Amino acid sequence: MSTRRDRTFHKGLLSFMLLGLGAATGAGAAAGTFEGYAARTAFVPVTEGNKLAVDIFLPVEGPEQSSFPVVLSYTPYQRAEIDPATGTARDLMRSRLHRDLVRQGYAVVMADMRGTGASTGWLLDFMPAIWDDGKALVDWIAAQPWCDGNVGMQGGSYLGWSQTATASRKPAALKCIVPCVIPLEGYTGEVCPGGMYLQGFLNLWSGFMTPAQRNHYVPGRKLPTKPAVDEDGDGELADEIPLDQDGNGTFLNDGFPPKYADGAERKHVYFLATREHEKDYDYSQWAKDAPFVNSKSPLGYTMYDLGPNAHVEALRESHIPIYNVGGWFDGFTRGTFELYCTLQDTNPSKAIVFPGYHDVEGGPYYEYLGEARGAAEDLLLKEHLRFYDRYLKGVDNGIDREPPLLIYVMHGGGWRQENEWPLAREARRLLYFAEDHTLRATPGPAGKDEYRVDYTHDSRYGENNGNRWMGIGGNAPSSLPVRTEKDKQCLVYTSAPLDADTEVTGHPLVKFWVSSTAPEGDSFVYLEEVSPEGEAMLVTEGQLRAGFAKLHDNDDIIRGGNSDIEVLPELPWHGFEQEDFQEGIFAGGAVVEVTIDLLPTSWVFRKGHNIRIAIACADFPTFRLNERLCPTNSPADPNNAAAAITIYRDASRPSRIDLPVVR
């Protein structure tokens, strides 16, 4: 049965999947040359005998033209929904981007992945068979008379991953991709950031995926996927969905053959395809028991095999143009820059980063920063169209000669073009942990600070209890991330009021030396701006399980080091393989050096405000509590280890924050 959580998740998915549901015309939208579209649905044969359900939208009511460049979206999130009660479909044409593309003479296609929607087959998320299906799909599109031989791709999150996966198979017709909000590697991006299980997001995601893959129908709450085959030939698709005879939300448990509202005979194409989806693997169920990057999935794959890092070598060989899209408050922002920097010397590459969460153009930041609602969507639409015009239509519009990076500098004037990342003009500024919980430009007298671990610390905020990590599942916060009260549960270090505006653009690094009364421990670090009134606003964050404290070559992200690819930028990497984890790292009073890169940002700390570092040792329920200290995963369990940490600050252990300051 669907829940409110499912609906929240689906709303978030649609936002980055379709890139906005605004009006068909508006500020920033170019005047179109086609006034309408013709829609059709097909069943496309791919690999292993599977068939993918595909919606196709072709421009009409314009210039005489029989073939078009095509923009493809390849999704596990239902290419279209339909209401069995009314027959009303909700499809790709809800999206302003796709309506604008059709007006500008592009055909657009949306396909259900195997094991999802109305497609056949079963799914282990991110498995290589999906990559092969993507190539077969592009090859099929290129062979159609309505395609002019040029195909691009579009979409965010899983749909961004599906672009790098498809491109890694090098279909000849695929000429460019625009992956939005994806990591370089999935282990620290979506499963175990810093080595700690991201239960909040994965439970949310699984709670949506399981009923969606099985085409559950709960009136007013959950709609099934639009079928791909009109078996009775009456021109309607809603009646191809079997009746839910017992009213429990699914038709799959009502016996065979299924029954239909019109009573007509069928071969049960939709039912049989959906029944295959019951073989799908629940990602959260196996990922929760895969604590290392080299842990095995049910089919033997590791995280080296399933993330975009598995595609990098082939992407570099393909030389395909890539436009990376990220959000400063997305969980995958590090990956946005890693993909851009690692591929820029082999692939025509661009990147744009918004002051948003996982849906990039949503959230509370635009009003806070004085931007008009919808301005981000306008810009994103414009950039998509320019990129496709250049690489699918061959229009010399100069996008490939502009500075390749477009970033939003928060409190610093907004949009700014840059030529490189990290910025060549950054200067690293150290602020040391000092006495009286201060941050100072020079080390203070030797000392140490103790903190009793509070397992109830919870980083979520807003009426919907969201945060950066829950936002990956569509649960982006509805209000700004004010941490003033949460900081009371943390160990904090705060600077003196700044005597000038200070821009921090890049990757902040935190290094500190710590011991614990418990043998294990986790660290969650928050960089904040504190106003003269004392309000603490989150800027960025990072985390690490202490057992992974040892640093490794970040080139190991690609196939565990079995590659000669240099991963850029050079950032701390903690290996995260089983062999890298040091159990009982704090045993015997050991003092451990911890280095954490905070997710990248571009933020101007304003004159008269303070810079703050807040450190917690838990973030429940977003992250699972440390299993060795809290085996029941309950912050209220009296049997939890009563841990206390000590952070050291002296000449040999200069605990500090290292900020990329830009003048």
6 CB-near residues (< 8 Å, 6+ apart):
207, 208, 211, 212, 221, 222
143 φ, ψ (degrees, to nearest 5)? -85, -5
- Is residue 71 within 8 A of residue 103, CB to CB? The reply is no
- Is residue 604 within 8 A of residue 510, CB to CB? The reply is no
Residue labelled with tokens 């959950």? 222
CA distances 381 to 314, 425, 437, Å, are 28, 30, 46
CATH of the domain spanning 426-549+585-662: 2.60.120.260
Closest Cα partner for 649 from 428, 440, 452?
A: 440
Q: Tell me the pairing of strands 426-434 and 68-75.
A: unpaired
CB burial of residue 484 (10 Å; 0-12, 13-18, 19+): middle
Per-residue b/e over 101-113, b at no fewer than 16 CB within 10 Å?
bbbbbbbbbbbbb
Q: What is the 3-state secondary structure (H, E, C) of 590-602?
A: CCEEEEEECCCEE
Return the SS3 of 564. Answer: coil
Q: Which CATH superfamily is domain 4-213+284-384 in?
A: Alpha/Beta hydrolase fold, catalytic domain (3.40.50.1820)
- Is residue 452 within 8 A of residue 182, CB to CB? The reply is no
- Is residue 634 within 8 A of residue 620, CB to CB? The reply is no
Write the single-letter amino acid at 153.
M
pLDDT (0 to 100) of residue 71 = 98
Tokens of residue 504, six digits: 């921090």
pLDDT (0 to 100) of residue 363 = 79
Q: Tell me the pairing of strands 405-409 and 414-418.
A: antiparallel
Closest Cα partner for 351 from 337, 335, 361?
A: 337
Matching fold, domains 4-213+284-384 and 426-549+585-662: no
- Is residue 627 within 8 A of residue 195, CB to CB? The reply is no
In the chain, % helix, strand, coil (3-state, to 5) comes to: 25, 25, 50
What is the number of H-type helices and E-type strands within the chain?
13, 26
Write the single-letter amino acid at 257.
P
Write the single-letter amino acid at 185.
E
Where in the chain are the domains?
4-213+284-384, 426-549+585-662
454 CB-near residues (< 8 Å, 6+ apart):
489, 490, 616, 617, 618
DSSP string, 605-661: EPTT-EEEEEEES--TTTSPPPTTT-TT--TT-TTS---EEEEEEETTEE-EEEEEE
Closest Cα partner for 463 from 14, 3, 11, 8?
A: 8
- Is residue 544 within 8 A of residue 619, CB to CB? The reply is no
Q: Which residues, in sequence order, are bridge partners of residue 107?
A: 70
Distance CA 645, CA 415 (A): 41
Q: Do you find a cis peptide bond into 443, omega within 30 degrees of 0?
A: no
- Is residue 600 within 8 A of residue 540, CB to CB? The reply is yes
- Is residue 95 within 8 A of residue 382, CB to CB? The reply is no
DSSP string, 457-479: ----BTTTTB-TTGGGGT---SS
pLDDT along the chain (663 residues), means of 10: 41 41 32 87 97 98 96 98 95 94 97 98 98 98 98 98 98 98 96 98 95 96 96 96 97 97 96 98 96 97 97 98 97 98 98 93 85 88 97 97 98 97 98 98 97 98 93 89 98 98 98 98 98 98 98 96 95 98 98 98 98 98 98 97 97 98 94
515 HSE (CA, 13 A, CB side): 12
Per DSSP (E only), the strands in 157-290 are 174-180
Distance CA 241, CA 229 (A): 10
Q: Which residues, in sequence order, are bridge partners of residue 530?
A: 536, 610
Distance CA 417, CA 260 (A): 57
H or E element that contains 285: helix 283-287
pTM: 0.95
Distance CA 484, CA 537 (A): 7
Q: Which residues, in sequence order, are bridge partners of residue 147?
A: 68
416 φ, ψ (degrees, to nearest 5)? -150, 135
Return the SS3 of 36. Answer: strand
Q: What is the DSSP letter of 99?
A: H
Tokens of residue 388, six digits: 């496709």
First to last CA, the chain: 54
